[in-house]
Amino acid sequence: MQAIIRGSREHVSSEILEDADSPVVEEAFERTTLAITRDKIVKDVWQRETRKPLPVNADSDGYITRFEIQFARICPNADSEQASNTKKYVVYDVICTLDTTTQADKAPAIIERRYTDFLKLYEALKKESPQLMVNVAFPKKKILGNFTSDLISERSVAFENLLDYCVSIPALRDSPSFLSFLQDDELTKASRLLDERRNEAAVPILENSFQLLNKVYLDKSRQVLLLLCRLVCACTTSPISHPSSIKWTDLALKRFNHVSDTEILVLYIPLLNTASYLYWQKGLDAKSINDRLEEMGRKGIKIKDTLTLIQCLHTMEPRSETF
């Protein structure tokens, strides 16, 4: 199934994702212990040997959002200390790309999910939108044989089809359940790291999540802007701002231009204040930002003694971060 999303998207380059086709990875998979016709398992790691071809049809803006599972691994690894007394499970690497008919996405976003995550999504969507899910097949649970390459391959195709179908249907794409599937695990990890004041570890996680949502939703959608503001917070709330703080703050300011969603606009003043302080901290000219704040003040909008950006985010989408 093809997944097409209509609307504007702005590409954001990313250097945080590992290249799944790198020579190191390819060399590792050459040392196979079990070879089969189409896929293979190497020391508890499954790889599909063929990639999806480029799409034949694309959206009006020339792009198509697609999901692919190229790798999976059995956990815990057979060589690990936990292997003997821990129940095994399969982790699937879900790759999200924004391709054209002539060029593959050079900066894919990758998240890890288990069978139970896909099952939770499927059951939630089936409950929320039964008519839209009536013809969607989902692989059944199995008591035995869960770790064969054939079953992993079969499930991977079913999971890809489910995600591609979701992203092609606005009602499913915009459902809370689909958004939760895409970001909740990563936001939970990032929130815990921010609570521990480990911002440098949280930023790459949020960057990857932003890249993913930016491929699925429109540039100025609520989902994307909330994640982008959370990323700005992660970059700016430590004593020494993250090296990427200016890049993400500037992008957030750009995205908020002409936003009409009143619920999202409550973040704009805290974002401007965050940007003004960051520019001062970096020794940069903040005149345009301060002029914008003054303009908002002349309109009767409170610009001083307001909630911080992270406080505003917490009221809209509570997480575990302290502030």
Show pLDDT as tens, one digit a residue, over the chain (323 residues).
Answer: 433 333 455 656 443 333 333 333 333 333 333 333 346 556 689 998 888 888 877 665 688 999 999 999 999 876 666 556 678 899 999 999 999 888 999 999 999 999 999 999 999 999 999 999 999 999 998 877 778 999 999 999 999 999 999 999 999 999 999 999 999 999 999 999 999 999 999 999 999 999 999 999 999 999 999 999 999 999 999 989 999 999 999 999 999 998 888 889 999 999 999 999 999 999 999 999 999 999 999 999 999 999 999 999 999 887 765 54
121 and 194 both lie in a single domain = no
- Please check whether residue 88 lies inside any domain of the structure: yes
150 and 190 both lie in a single domain = no
154 and 211 both lie in a single domain = no
pLDDT at 10: 61
49 and 162 both lie in a single domain = yes
302 and 190 both lie in a single domain = yes
Q: Which domain holds residue 264?
A: 180-316
209 and 104 both lie in a single domain = no
Query: pTM score, two decimals?
Result: 0.83
- Please check whether residue 120 lies inside any domain of the structure: yes
pLDDT at 4: 36
pLDDT at 31: 30
Cα gap 175→177, rounded to integer Å: 5
Where a domain ends, among 153, 173, 193?
173
142 and 187 both lie in a single domain = no
pLDDT at 82: 59
148 and 219 both lie in a single domain = no
30 and 162 both lie in a single domain = yes
- Please check whether residue 205 lies inside any domain of the structure: yes
CATH number of the domain residue 104 falls in = 3.30.1520.10
- Please check whether residue 110 lies inside any domain of the structure: yes
144 and 245 both lie in a single domain = no
φ, ψ dihedrals at 202, nearest 5°: -75, -30
pLDDT at 145: 72
pLDDT at 52: 83
pLDDT at 26: 34
User: How many domains are there within the chain?
Assistant: 2
- Please check whether residue 221 lies inside any domain of the structure: yes
Tally the C-alpha atoms within 13 A of residue 196's C-alpha that lie toward its C-beta.
Answer: 10
- Please check whether residue 286 lies inside any domain of the structure: yes
268 and 149 both lie in a single domain = no
Where a domain ends, among 110, 140, 173?
173
Structure tokens that stand for 78 in this block = 């057979």
Q: Are 207 and 10 a contacting pair, CB within 8 Å?
A: no
Strand order of the β-sheet with 89-99 is 34-35, 39-42, 45-48, 64-75, 89-99, 109-114
Where a domain ends, among 173, 195, 219?
173
- Please check whether residue 15 lies inside any domain of the structure: no
pLDDT at 84: 61
- Please check whether residue 241 lies inside any domain of the structure: yes
DSSP string of 246-292, one letter each residue: HHHHHHHHHHHTT---HHHHTTHHHHHHHHHHHHHHHT---HHHHHH
195 and 233 both lie in a single domain = yes
